[in-house]
Amino acid sequence: MITLKLEILRRKNPEDVPHWESYDYQTEDETANVAVALTELNQQIEHPVRWECSCLQKKCGACAMVIQNRPRLACDTPLKEFIKAGTVRIEPLRKFPVIADLITDRSILFENLKTMQIWFAEDAKTNGSQTAYEASRCLQCGCCLEICPNFWTGGTFSGISAMIPTARLLTALPESQKKELFKTYKKHIYEGCGKSLACRNVCPAGIEIDKLLVNSNAVAVWKRKPKHEK
């Protein structure tokens, strides 16, 4: 049996002052995670907690939130981690505007891709490289932006969530079209990233961010061959 206090930072509307609410929660399911707890809690309370989910299999990134001070996926955070403490604090991601309760507006992730013009043109060809595989695992969940000391909305740095698809595009574009991408990479990724790699420690997909970053820097900034590409 798992018995926990769920402390949830709540607000009904974006302009409301957020406040903590505490709920007693119990389950006999030793494998239950935060997503299960929120689902069951919402069946028991008068004003359900608003949060986002889709796949419930750590594949879509929708359920990213701050759990015990760390950006994580609710569907990939087992409750048993918090049994000893007896309580778990759940908040919305802090780097993004809050819509209600645990729902945030993460459209900046896609706006940054638009600013950098990161999309596949007709003559870009996908390939079976290690970079392409690693990059395809990104959920665009925003956990890396949440933890990054150098990312803020409105800044020039587009964050690791933009570096990942850029790394993929760097392997796919014909040489003749890479010049513009090199420029935008330098401005929006290379010059903003402090390379502390805190983002790697929180990435729920376990993407080898360090290798992608080193490779992309080598290609886009130093015009060298990538080191780790197989």
Residue ranges binding ligand FES (CB under 6 A): 53-56, 58-63, 73, 75
**Options 193, 215, 219, 220; binder of ligand SF4; rule CB under 6 A:** 193
Nearest distance from C-beta of residue 26 to ligand SF4, angstroms: 31
Stretch that binds ligand SF4, among 2-10, 47-55, 74-82, 201-209 (CB under 6 A): 201-209
Report the distance separating Cα 132 and Cα 168, nearest Å: 5
According to DSSP, the β-strands at 2-10 and 87-91 are: parallel
Report the distance separating Cα 192 and Cα 206, nearest Å: 22
By beta-carbon proximity to ligand FES, the closer residue of 62 and 93 is: 62
By beta-carbon proximity to ligand SF4, the closer residue of 4 and 67 is: 67
Using DSSP's 3-state secondary structure scheme, residue 103 falls into strand
Report the distance separating Cα 56 and Cα 48, nearest Å: 18
User: According to the binding rule CB under 6 A, does residue 194 interact with ligand SF4?
Assistant: yes
**Options 36, 138, 181, 220; binder of ligand SF4; rule CB under 6 A:** 138
Residues that contact ligand SF4, how many (by CB under 6 A): 27
Report the distance separating Cα 139 and Cα 96, nearest Å: 16
**Options 35, 49, 93, 164; binder of ligand SF4; rule CB under 6 A:** 164
Nearest distance from C-beta of residue 93 to ligand FES, angstroms: 13
Which amino acid, residue 18? P
What is the DSSP track for 122-150? TT------HHHHHHHT-----HHHHH-TT
Which partner in ligand FES, ligand SF4, none is near 140 (CB below 5 to 8 A by kind)? ligand SF4
Q: Give per-residue burial for 135-152: e unless 16+ CB within 10 Å, then b.
A: beebbbbbbbbbbbebbe
Which partner in ligand SF4, ligand FES, none is near 53 (CB below 5 to 8 A by kind)? ligand FES
By beta-carbon proximity to ligand FES, the closer residue of 6 and 34 is: 34
Report the distance separating Cα 27 and Cα 4, nearest Å: 9
Enumerate binding residues for ligand SF4 (CB under 6 A).
Answer: 61, 138-144, 147-148, 150-151, 159-161, 164, 193-199, 203-205, 207
